[in-house]
Amino acid sequence: MDNWIKVTSIFVLSGLFLFGLYHSSAISDSKGPMQPILFSHKIHAGENQIPCQYCHSFADVSTNPGIPSVQKCIGCHSQVHGKDEDYKTDTGKVINFKTEIDKVKDYWQRKEPIPWIKVTDMPEYVRFNHKRHIKRGFECQTCHGQVQEMDVVYKAERMNMGFCITCHEENADNQEHLTQLKDCLTCHY
């Protein structure tokens, strides 16, 4: 009778294996990385309503949206110095506005770039053209999540191929467009 237990468990295990394969990359980081400066998108994009493309200004002209130069940061922060006040971020970390802003000023003073940690990283064999997506009218949040509500930005979507392809399927105008959007060479070359 032992066999039956074995056979059943093999079936169950292989089922789990397949399920695991299917969902292997479904787990996304719930927390973002520790950045050199605790830059809160929640405060900038959320509370202060600064449009995404004010800082990521190339999203509609280039494949790469770009990240703001230190010069751009200091453009505002030469005026905005931050209160000497504590702030509890959504990850529970307590920071001081002024201390964080002083860090930006330090970088500027030293003429050093800020070594930001990449949150959303595409493998190099994937070509994602920001311009095309923005021009088609997609919100940044579609892929990046509700960034304006995050103190510490994290990867909100798993951004694997399934994520991309589902969206491409949903947004095709017609059959021919669908064929184009699902053409492998659209993203991989």
Partner 1 sequence: MSLNQGVVGVYSYVDSVLDAVRKLKANGYENLRVFSPVPLHEVEEEIDLPPSPVRFFTLFGGLLGAASGFAFTVLTSAAWPISVSAKPIVSIPPYMVIVFELTILFGAIFTLAGLLVNGFLRNRAPVSMYDKRFSDDKFGVMVVCPTENISSVQDILNSTGAEEVKVDSIDG
Partner 2 sequence: MSQDTKLTYSRVTTDVVAMLEKPSVKWWALFMISLSFVGIGLICFIYQVYVGLGVAGYRHPVFWGTYITDFVFWVGIAHSGTLISAILYLFRARFRMSIYRIAEGMTVFAVLTAGLFPIMHLGRPWNFYWLFPYPNQREIWINFKSPLVWDVFAVSTYLTVSSLFFLIGMIPDIAAIRDKVTEKPRRIIYSILSFGWKGSNWEWLHYGRAYLYFAALATPLVLSVHSVVSWDFAMGNVPGWHTTIFAPYFVAGAIFSGLGMVITLTIPIRKIFHLEDYITLDNYDGMAKLIMFTSGIVGYAYAVEFFMAWYSSSPFEWQQFMYRAVGEYALFYWIMVICNVVIPIPLWFSKVRRNLKWLFIISIFINIGMWFERFNIIVISLSRDFDPAAWGVYKISWVEAGITAGSFAWFFMFFLIFLKTLPSVSISEIKEILPVPKRGDK
Partner 3 sequence: MSKGKNGGINRRDFLKVIGVAGGTAAVTGACSGEPVEQIIPYVIPPESYIPAIPKFYSSTCRECPAGCGIILKNRDGRAIKVEGNPNSPINGGSTCARGQASLQGLYNPDRNRSPLKLNEFGRLAPTSWETGTNDLSAKINELVSQGKGSRIVYLSNSISGTLNELVDKWTNAIGAKHYTYESFSYDSIKEANSISFGIDEIPNYKIENADYVLSFGADFLETWLSPNQYARGFSKLKTVKNGKVGKFVQVEPRMSLTGASADDWVAVKPGTEVFLALGIANAIIKNGGAKKDAGLVSGMVSSYTPEKVSQLTDVPAETINQIAKDFTKFKSVALGGGVALTGTNATETLVAINILNYIAGNIGKTVDFSDTQLISNANNFKDILKLLEDMKSGGVDVLIVHGVNPVFTLPKSLNAEEAIKKVPYIVSFASFMDETTELSQLVLPDNHSVESWGDFQPTKSYVSIIQPAMRPVFNTQSVGDTLISLSKKVDSTKELINEETYYDYLRSAWKNVANYVAPNKQFDLFWNDTLRDGGVEINLPERSVELSSAVQSVKFAEPEFKGDGEYYFITYPSYKYYDGSGANKPWLQELPEGLTTSVWDSYVDMNTETAKKMGVREGSFINIQSPQGEIKTQVFTYDGIRPDTIAVAIGQGHTAYGRYAKDRGVNPLDLLPNMSDRLSGGFAFLSSKVSVSNAGKHSLLVRTQYTRTQHERGVAQAITLDQLNHPDDHHGEHHDEPDFYPPREYPNHRWAMNVDLNKCTGCGACVTACYAENNIPFVGKAQVAKRRDMSWIRIERYFDKDENGRMDTRFLPMMCQQCGNAPCEPVCPVFATYHNPEGLNGMIYNRCVGTRYCANNCTYKVRKFNWYTYKFPEPLNWQLNPDVTVRTKGIMEKCTFCVQRIKYGTDIAKDGDGIVKDGDILTACQQACPTDAIVFGDLKDTTSQVAKLSHDDRGYKVFEVINTKPGITYLKKVKWDNA
Q: Which residues bind partner 2 (CB under 8 A)?
A: 2-3, 18, 21-23, 25-26, 160-163, 165
Q: Treating both helix axes as pointing N-terminal to C-terminal, what angle do 97-110 and 70-77 enclose, rounded to 10 degrees?
A: 130
Q: Which residues bind partner 3 (CB under 8 A)?
A: 17, 20-21, 24-25, 27, 29, 33, 58, 61-71, 107-108, 111-118, 121, 123-127, 129, 131-132, 135, 176, 179-180, 183-185, 188-189
* Nearer CB in complex with partner 1: 5/184: 184
Report if residue 5 touches partner 1, rule: CB under 8 A: no
At a CB cut-off of 8 Å and minimum separation 6, what does 68 contact?
A: 55, 56, 57
Report if residue 182 touches partner 1, rule: CB under 8 A: yes
CB 147 within 8 A of CB 45: yes
150-159 in b/e burial notation, b at 16+ Cβ within 10 A? Answer: bbbbbbbeeb
Report if residue 168 touches partner 1, rule: CB under 8 A: no
CB 113 within 8 A of CB 47: no
Rounded Cα gap, residues 77 and 71, in angstroms: 10
Q: Which does 139 bind (CB under 5 to 8 A by kind): partner 2, partner 1, partner 3, none?
A: none
Residue labelled with tokens 């191929």: 161
At a CB cut-off of 8 Å and minimum separation 6, what does 98 contact?
A: 81, 82, 83, 84, 85
Report if residue 63 touches partner 1, rule: CB under 8 A: no
Which element (helix H / strand E) includes 70?
Answer: helix 70-77
With contacts defined by CB under 8 A, name the span among 14-22, 94-102, 140-148, 179-187 that binds partner 1: 179-187
Q: Which of 110, 184, 185, 189 binds partner 1 (CB under 8 A)?
A: 184
* Nearer CB in complex with partner 3: 65/150: 65
* Nearer CB in complex with partner 2: 98/188: 188
Q: Which does 69 bind (CB under 5 to 8 A by kind): partner 1, partner 2, partner 3, none?
A: partner 3
Token duo for residue 56: 């990521």
Q: What residues make contact with partner 1 under the rule CB under 8 A? A: 179, 182, 184
